[in-house]
Amino acid sequence: MQQLDALTREAVSLAGGARRVIPILTAKETEVGRQMQICNSCRYCEGFCAVFPAMTRRLEFGKADIHFLANLCHNCGACLHACQYAPPHEFAVNVPKAMAEVRGQTYVDYAWPPALGTLYQRNGLTLSVALAAALALFLIMAVAAQGTLWNAKLGGNFYRLFPHNLLVGMFAPVFGFAALALAMGVRRFWRDITPATSGAALSGPAAAEATDTVLRLKYLGGGHGEGCNNEDDAFSLARRRFHHFTFYGFMLCFLATSVATLYHYALGWTAPYELPSLPKLLGVAGGVSLLVGTAGLWRLNRQRHPLHGDLAQKPMDLGFIALLFFTSASGLALWLGRSTPALALLLCLHLGAVMALFATLPYGKFAHGIFRTASLLRHATEKRQPSPVGLADD
């Protein structure tokens, strides 16, 4: 037995002269395995979400299986409130809590570069430092360029303060690194869970099903379409709806930036753009949607029942929600105040928020969407294969 770090320990056994490496489970992973064994005997919650049909295809739960199942879980809470073995029962089955703890471990284990995985564990501090540093950078640059943050003579055109090519040169590398870090992490995760999920290649129908599931946030419906449990055992679709506002608001803002990039480089139409231009329509709609979604998610997160198990991730959750809210609010304020003396200050606040968001994307709550999508793709692939234990999926 080798004694290694808790997240990477491995047991090495010799059988017939062959060297076989067996991953050792952490305490959190072992607890998920224990609860899945109990759930596999009961199966009352089999129709609630993707976790339980996937569970029935397994008699044992290795490290890859557990991380796959943990990232399938949407923490809707339905199984907790339906479970006859939930605390204070001696079995103490609390699937949402156990899965949430392993998901947090997933983000750390699969972070790239690996040394930066610890940022997940200090996420609140990371967000604060990134935001403060980014704001300071742009405020200093603005003062150096104009000598003032108020009543600068910009004529409503913020490119007079920060030229287009300067902004591209600053933001493109940060965004590129974030995309690369997320891609490298989820690539390792995919490679590890593929053998544990039938090993079959992703097909078109499986990809279409998983995409539909992601875009509709199907598993925030509690398995019956009535929604999640939040502060008590009452069902509500609020969490699903506010997630939709947030997700689609973010995508609309990203699309607005993409269209503006096309306008600038392909068509030669330079910013700033005004209504009813497509970039402005998309950006305003996305900003308002983000404001509504993040405000709603903040309220729901603060009311969340502690047994749902996401207490350890609450600083990460609230930090990401606040940063998204600040990004959208500052963007809308910049648009509304573009003809006022506050333009330079509003621009610095918005650019600082966006820079902090880009810099922390790979090491914050944003990662949950990437790993969950990968798990849903593998689930849609696995369910199309014969069950290894002789039971057909629903």
pLDDT digits (tens, 9 = 90+) for 255-291: 999 999 999 899 988 877 888 899 999 999 999 999 9
User: Is the per-residue pLDDT at 5 higher than 50?
Assistant: no
- Taking 70 as the threshold, does the pLDDT of residue 22 lie above it? no
- What whole-number distance in Å separates Cα of residue 322 and Cα of residue 328? 10
Q: pTM score > 0.75 for this model?
A: yes
**173 and 33 assigned to the same domain:** no
CA distance to 293, 321, 332, 353, per residue, from 327 (Å)? 13, 10, 9, 5
Q: Give domain status of residue 166, yes or no.
A: yes
Q: What percent of the chain has pLDDT over 70?
A: 93
The three state secondary structure string of 65-104 is HHHHHHHHCCCCCHHHHHCCCCCCCCCCCCHHHHHHHHHH
pLDDT digits (tens, 9 = 90+) for 97-121: 999 999 999 999 999 999 888 888 7
Asked if the structure places residue 254 within a domain, the reply is yes
Q: Are residues 376 and 338 in the same domain?
A: yes
Domain match, 63 and 170 both: no
Are both 132 and 101 inside the same structural domain? Answer: no
DSSP letter assigned to residue 47: T
Tokens of 309: 């198990």
Most confident range, picked from 212-216, 346-350, 390-394: 212-216
**Which residue among 110, 143, 160 closes a domain?**
110
Q: Are residues 195 and 60 in the same domain?
A: no
Same domain? For 304 and 167 the reply is yes
Residue 168 backbone class (left: φ over 0; alpha: ψ -120 to 50; beta: rest): alpha
Q: Where does 159-313 have alpha helices with state H?
A: 164-193, 204-216, 238-262, 278-303
Domain end point (choices 89, 110, 131)? 110
Residue 378, token pair as written in the block:
């593998």
Nearest to 305 by CA among 218, 224, 239: 239
Both 184 and 279 in one domain: the answer is yes
In a domain, 334, yes or no: yes
More confident position, 162 or 250: 250
Final residue of a domain: which of 110, 137, 161? 110
pLDDT at 19 over 60: no
Q: Are residues 101 and 151 in the same domain?
A: no
Total domains present in the chain = 2
Supply the DSSP symbol for 154: -
5 found inside a domain: no
314 falls in which pLDDT band (50, 70, 90)? confident
- Tell me what the pLDDT averaged over the chain comes to: 87
Question: Residue 361 in 3-state DSSP?
Answer: helix
Query: How confident is the model at residue 293, as a pLDDT?
Result: 97
Out of 89-98, 213-222, 229-238, least confident range: 229-238
* Of 280 and 157, the one with more pLDDT: 280
In a domain, 389, yes or no: no
Does a structural domain hold residue 394?
no
Average pLDDT over residues 167-192: 95
pLDDT band at 137 (very low <50, low <70, confident <90, very high): confident
Write b or e for each residue in 90-119: b if 16 or more Cβ atoms lie within 10 A of its Cβ, otherwise e.
eeebbbbbbbbbbbbbbbbbbbbeeeebeb
Q: Is 386 exposed, middle or buried (0-12, 13-18, 19+ CB in 10 A)?
A: exposed
Q: How confident is the model at residue 368 (pLDDT cuts 50, 70, 90)?
A: very high
In this structure, are 193 and 324 located in the same domain?
A: yes
Q: Are residues 85 and 215 in the same domain?
A: no
Query: What is the residue range of 33's domain?
Result: 10-110
Residue 391 in domain:
no
Residue 388 belongs to some domain of the structure = no
Same domain, 121 and 175: yes
How confident is residue 16, by pLDDT bands cut at 50, 70 and 90?
Answer: very low
User: Are both 136 and 65 inside the same structural domain?
Assistant: no
Residue 316 or residue 58, greater confidence: 58
